[in-house]
Amino acid sequence: MGPGLVRAILVEDSWAAIRKDPVLLGKFMKIWRGSGSKKKAIVAVARTLIVRLQACVISGTSYATRVLQ
């Protein structure tokens, strides 16, 4: 949903985010293995990323990658 340009930028940012954030990479791999589709997996990561970014804007904090435990 939303403007195509914003969606495209968010998907590109999601590809970069899975290289930096191990939690997002884990989500990508889990969905990719389960569905067999990289497109579905990256869209799921994009949704998670936008929810995190929205929370950062609301709380006024900086985005920080999460660490797997």
pLDDT for residue 45 = 97
Whether pLDDT at 67 is above 80: no
CB 47 within 8 A of CB 6: no
Whether pLDDT at 1 is above 80: no
Q: How far is CA 43 from CA 11, 47, 58, 69, in A?
A: 7, 6, 23, 24
Whether pLDDT at 68 is above 70: no
Q: What ranges do the domains of the chain cover?
A: 4-59
Query: Per-residue pLDDT tens for 2-59?
Result: 789 999 999 999 999 999 999 999 999 999 999 999 999 999 999 999 999 999 999 9
pLDDT for residue 63 = 82
